[in-house]
Structure 1
């Protein structure tokens, strides 16, 4: 599960290079997001931690690549891009939490090393989002943006105002939602590793939906809440990174 330098640069974006890291932090972004959400984190973590912000196809320098629309092919590609030579931690936000969890389960199924800690942010536990509520990834663009903004917020005004930006962003934004909406829980065994679930007190995702992650965990488990909405981690970055730092020492 090693990677070439070229693939490393495509899939893993590093804010600051570490000369001799002792462990890695893999970060997985939200639907419609990019590695830029997490690259600044390297400034707030020790030099021993190699911060690897995962960049999925279709965005950033990978804008010409076809984004994934199903979970399994996405996991299969990611499995081949992880460097497992050092201890590592996963942090996933929203859609990224689902990817991080399923990737950890895939590592477990393969008998590979597991993350020493799994952070799952702003995402209900698998199976709690009903499959019969309809899909939004194929809605007309303004309606799609309205629904996303109503559910989670964070849709910038520029995206509505500029056609060129929408043409650039909406293909991978829709693709991420298609992954979510076609996803079905894998039915694998609970993961035997420490898990921290995080959420915002003003998010529409309730504490009960976050606590339900415990059914999928066989190791230490806790839920941590922060003031704020679905993107609580932005104004509370220092506090969130402090939690991650505690898991990497």
Structure 2
């Protein structure tokens, strides 16, 4: 049975009988519930949204600081649990780099690597930081949060929720801004996912991932926020790679 310090990392505990886990890292400023439109399973994998500090049910906990600190603390708590069976990771934009740092540190600890690494709308660590969000002031970030809430189906509550999200978004953006790693190697295979109408991180910039591991690039139809809807072509791609 999981200890409380382990359980806090999961919106829902992974099923004991799950054949594979797909660990889904939340986007900047958001918590695990952002994956509520996703199915509970994709192919052989159970979708497991990760919950980070200072948001949703972990609102009383301080921000994680840097992606390196986040990955270290997460692996200290649940490293053996999430690597005890085959797993994959998914991250989009501000969720891709902390997911990848988790893979890097798991390898450094000698823990099993992921079956697949899905990096959506993000440049490789050695090519960053990149993204329009990094240059926005508070007013700009507030406008982006309102747009994100609308994309998540919370348009009616957007105005009152922005105040709850802004501090988390600013801290997450700062973690993105200071993250950088030289190119290296990780176990597993990378699928770099771009979106043809994404103006935040154009898919043409996602050229650095092959320096880390064998990489296949896929460009799907959609904008920066289309992944929230779990569109059929994304699910088909994930299922195909996981299978």
Q: Aligned partners of 1:247, 1:4: CA distance in 2, in Å? A: 30
Q: Aligned partners of 2:145, 2:61: CA distance in 1, in Å? A: 26
Aligned mate of 1:38, from 31, 35, 40: 35
Indicate whether 1:78 and 2:77 are aligned: no
Aligned mate of 1:233, from 215, 227, 236: 227
Provide the residue aligned with 1:24 in structure 2: 21
Distance 1:21-1:135 versus aligned 2 partners, 3 A rule: closer
Q: Is the 8 A contact 2:129 2:177 kept in 1?
A: no
Q: How many angstroms does 1:43 deviate by?
A: 3.4
Aligned mate of 1:168, from 161, 164, 171: 164
Aligned mate of 1:200, from 195, 200, 214: 195
Q: Indicate the SS of the match to 1:203.
A: coil
Q: Is the 8 A contact 1:14 1:39 kept in 2?
A: no
Unpaired segments of 5 or more residues in structure 2? none
Root mean square deviation of aligned Cα = 2.8
Distance 1:65-1:118 versus aligned 2 partners, 3 A rule: same
Aligned mate of 2:237, from 225, 240, 243: 243
Q: Is the 8 A contact 2:145 2:165 kept in 1?
A: no
Provide the residue aligned with 2:8 in structure 1: 10
Q: Aligned partners of 2:133, 2:52: CA distance in 1, in Å? A: 25
Q: Is the 8 A contact 2:66 2:179 kept in 1?
A: yes
Q: Aligned partners of 2:145, 2:167: CA distance in 1, in Å? A: 17
Q: Is the 8 A contact 1:44 1:241 kept in 2?
A: no
Q: Deviations over 1:168-213 (max 9, x none)?
A: 211211111111011121x362223211011211112223311321
Superposed, 1:1-249 pairs within 5 Å as 4-14=2-12, 18=15, 20-46=17-43, 49-80=45-76, 81-82=78-79, 83=81, 84-129=83-128, 136=135, 139=137, 141-146=138-143, 148=144, 154=148, 156=150, 161-162=159-160, 165-185=161-181, 187=182, 189-204=184-199, 205-217=201-213, 219=214, 221-235=215-229, 237-249=231-243
Q: Aligned partners of 2:221, 2:23: CA distance in 1, in Å? A: 25
Q: Indicate the SS of the match to 2:208.
A: helix
Q: Indicate the SS of the match to 1:90.
A: strand
Q: How many residues align?
A: 234
Distance 1:240-1:7 versus aligned 2 partners, 3 A rule: farther
Instruction: Give the TM-score taking structure 1 as reference length.
Output: 0.82
Q: Indicate the SS of the match to 2:198.
A: coil
Q: How many angstroms does 1:44 deviate by?
A: 4.5
Q: How many angstroms does 1:19 deviate by?
A: 5.2
Instruction: Give the TM-score taking structure 2 as reference length.
Output: 0.83
Q: Aligned partners of 1:215, 1:158: CA distance in 2, in Å? A: 44
